[in-house]
Amino acid sequence: MAFGQFCSRQWALWVLLLVSCTGAFYIPGYSITRYNDGDPIPLLVNKIFSDHTQLQYAYFDLPFVCPPSGKTHGGSPFGSGQSISLNIGEVLRGDRIMTSDFEVAMGKDVECRSLCTRDVSRSNVKWARQLIKEGYVIEWIADNLPGATSFVTVDRSRKYYASGFKLGYRDISPVTGQHRYFINNHFTIVIRWRSAPEGGKVIVGFEVYPKSITAEDRLENGCPKAVHNSNEGLGLYIAPNLSRMEEKYSGLSYIPDDDDEDDDGATLKVPYTYSVYFREDTNVEWANRWDLYFTNQVESSITHWLAIINSLTICTVLGVTVFVIWSRTVQGDLKGRGDGAMDDRKMKGQSRRRSGKSEKKGEGLLDDSADVERDADYSSDDEAVEDTSGWKLLHGDVFRIPAYSGLLAPLVGSGMQLLFMASGLLLLSCLGILNPSFRGGFVSVGMGLFVFAGLFSGYFSGRLYKTFGGTAWRKNTLITALLFPGLAFCLVLILNLFVWAQASSTAIPFGTLIGLLALWLLIQVPLVYIGSWVGYVRAMPWEHPLKTNAIARQVPPQPWYLRTPLGPVVTGVVPFAVLFIELLFLFKNLWQDKSGYYYVFGFLSAVSTVLIVTVVEVTVIATYSQLCSENYHWWWQSFLTGGNSAFWIFAYCIWYYMFKLHITGFVSSLLFFSYSFLACAVYGLLTGTVGFLAAYAFVRRVYSAIKVD
């Protein structure tokens, strides 16, 4: 379809996008679990995480919580501490789900039950204080729902959940004025249920209310005498060993107050207890039980609509520009000032020169000055013709093979692979197949789509490489299959070494790394080879409408806004402006509120669609401007123009880190910038490929209308 027809239907795009940007529904589970009174409800423990750092830790790896006893509960064949099988997405996001010693049975309230009493060493007390200072929260799971902290809105009209609950808290001592740290060692578990139409009960809510209770004044079973009354908290503090400190700091005039790094055998006893209560809730349907986790995102829908309007406005302005370029300029040159008109004007100029010379010879009335003036007039007419048809002067060079074509073809192939993966993820998310109940599903399905899309990567890379006249197609296949995945794998491997050193569950296990390597080399590489064989051996190269001259045309000096890399950097501002508002929500969810769930994929899909259209329009405008400046090096320029908004996104990441985040520690900062760089590289490859294909289609369409003898 011609660009003029495409742009003339902008109103249809408005309607379609407004319909598509409604909130995506979700399928909360593929099988509903019903419980009868007395049926055991497995309570699984996962990890602790914080919004202030990227390091996560498995719950049972903490040295100050109750370790698993290995006993079986509720008729389960597995004892506590048994790892639950995880998909690859769960492993990559740092999940370490295990069975626990909590005994929860449907309908049976438990006022208090002792779990264990843990002796915590001096160094572990210090680590617990550090984790509390960094705001770590705990994640448990029951019936596939994460344990949540319950909140109500200011007007108390609605309730919403925040996934996880605090590991502890701190306050300021009224005596010393220093921070005191308290660990939560009693957990009130509230299971909300409702009757199922088919019989039994279903769980519609899982809330955990943690509390810190001192180890003193307890019953024989380890429970506090008054569980639900106001109690003094259990402080994370061990009195210093004065004799050891005097020996260590003998001769000094002072003794540090916080010297507790060396263990001297002193421990802090931390008793853990829990209560369980079941409450019927008929206001929440089982199919809508995840809605409480999304309340904050629903309230921000007005801002999402503003993002849509902003994106559509920019897209429409650019669409009008492309329409003007196509309908009035390009077609005007072809029809009104086309090749025939240009030839006629040149022939008229030549005839006028000949007639002028004949007059000079026949009548002898023209002097030399008049002849020079007439020749100047004729040359100015010819220059005017050339000025109005600058892009047509490149007909013999516009399809000249670009430099480093052996790199451009694999990059375009990788971009098509990423485009297929991103489109599939957005489609499945909008259909509700990928949802929070499918834990780790977004990453797992994304990797599956990426591996399968190796067919598309190899095909487009091989066919473009053949179009460029390449002969070593197997070498091109190897570069396509190894370049981007290899760089990404090496980056993840290096980062993993730093995370391993921190003993964090964010580190990818060695077995998973081997699995990823096998997935890459044993599945994706053969698929890329098959696609490349079809694209290079079986398919025909893309034909160009014009032949290329043997001698390259000299490119005149270019204006500043068309020079590389300044030109693509400037044009990258426009796609970034389309995406900017939605980036606020994405970044907040990914880096500041990791306990929440991003689930407005309808809005994200709409913005992404407008973004792709905007990239196409910006690239077409930039390519046309470049051709009018008699610069035929548009191949790489179009790729960079389409993908250079990634530069502005990475700059935004730096600004976000400096002014919005409160990340502490070298490793967390390294993870932030490394993963931000990888995400921007993925985005740049994807949009760069879209820009390249748009420019390629535009140039082929424009020059196919030119007839050259």
Both 137 and 165 in one domain: the answer is: yes
The token duo for 412 is 């375009």
For residue 616, what are the domain limits? 302-331+392-399+569-708
Both 589 and 489 in one domain: the answer is: no
pLDDT tens digits for 551-608?
888 888 888 777 777 888 889 999 999 988 888 888 887 887 765 566 667 778 888 9
pLDDT for residue 331: 65
pLDDT at 708 over 60: no
Would 174 be classed as within a structural domain?
A: yes
Q: What percentage of the chain carries pLDDT values higher than 70? A: 81
pLDDT for residue 321: 86
pLDDT tens digits for 223-239?
998 888 888 999 999 98
Would 495 be classed as within a structural domain?
A: yes
Q: What is the mean pLDDT of residues 508-537?
A: 96
pLDDT at 2 over 50: no
Would 423 be classed as within a structural domain?
A: yes
Would 19 be classed as within a structural domain?
A: no
Q: Which of 47, 88, 54 is nearest to 511 (CA)?
A: 88
Q: Which of 385, 389, 529, 509 is nearest to 457 (CA)?
A: 529
pLDDT for residue 57: 96
Q: What is the mean pLDDT of residues 386-399?
A: 74
pLDDT tens digits for 430-476?
888 888 888 889 999 999 999 999 999 999 999 999 999 999 999 99
Both 307 and 275 in one domain: the answer is: no
State the pLDDT confidence band at 362, using cuts at 50, 70 and 90. Answer: very low
Both 593 and 511 in one domain: the answer is: no
pLDDT for residue 432: 81
Q: What is the mean pLDDT of residues 664-669?
A: 89
Both 78 and 171 in one domain: the answer is: yes
Both 533 and 576 in one domain: the answer is: no
DSSP 527: H
Both 174 and 45 in one domain: the answer is: yes
pLDDT for residue 16: 39
pLDDT higher for 170 or 78? 170
Would 382 be classed as within a structural domain?
A: no
Average pLDDT, the chain: 83
State the pLDDT confidence band at 365, using cuts at 50, 70 and 90. Answer: very low
What is the full DSSP assignment across 381-423?
HHHHHHHHTGGGGGTTTTTPPPTTHHHHHHHHHHHHHHHHHHH
For the purposes of burial, counting CB atoms within 10 Å of the CB of 586, is it exposed (0-12), middle (13-18) or buried (19 or more)? middle
pLDDT tens digits for 106-118?
999 999 999 999 9
d(CA 492, CA 92): 11
Q: Which of 481, 429, 423, 428 is nearest to 457 (CA)?
A: 481
pLDDT tens digits for 404-423?
999 999 999 999 999 999 99
Q: What percentage of the chain carries pLDDT values higher than 90? A: 56
Both 285 and 310 in one domain: the answer is: no
pLDDT for residue 510: 93
pLDDT for residue 464: 97
pLDDT for residue 379: 42
Yes or no: say if 106 and 37 are a contact pair by the CB < 8 Å rule: yes
User: What is the bridge-based pairing of β-strands 98-99 and 43-49?
Assistant: antiparallel
pLDDT for residue 251: 55
Both 239 and 315 in one domain: the answer is: no
Would 337 be classed as within a structural domain?
A: no
pLDDT at 646 over 90: yes
Give the amino acid at 553.
R
Both 275 and 314 in one domain: the answer is: no
Give the amino acid at 262.
D
State the pLDDT confidence band at 687, using cuts at 50, 70 and 90. Answer: very high
Integer CA distances (angstroms), 86 to 69, 94, 512, 544, in order: 22, 11, 11, 51
Number of domains in the chain: 3
pLDDT for residue 574: 92
pLDDT at 143 over 90: yes
**3-class SS of residue 193:** strand
Both 172 and 287 in one domain: the answer is: yes
CA atoms within 13 A on the CB side of 47: 21
pLDDT tens digits for 255-288?
554 444 556 788 999 999 999 999 999 999 998 8
Would 660 be classed as within a structural domain?
A: yes
Would 641 be classed as within a structural domain?
A: yes
Yes or no: say if 206 and 142 are a contact pair by the CB < 8 Å rule: yes
pLDDT for residue 244: 62
Q: Which of 286, 296, 299 is nearest to 27 (CA)?
A: 286
pTM of the predicted model as reported, rounded to 2 decimal places: 0.84
Both 236 and 112 in one domain: the answer is: yes
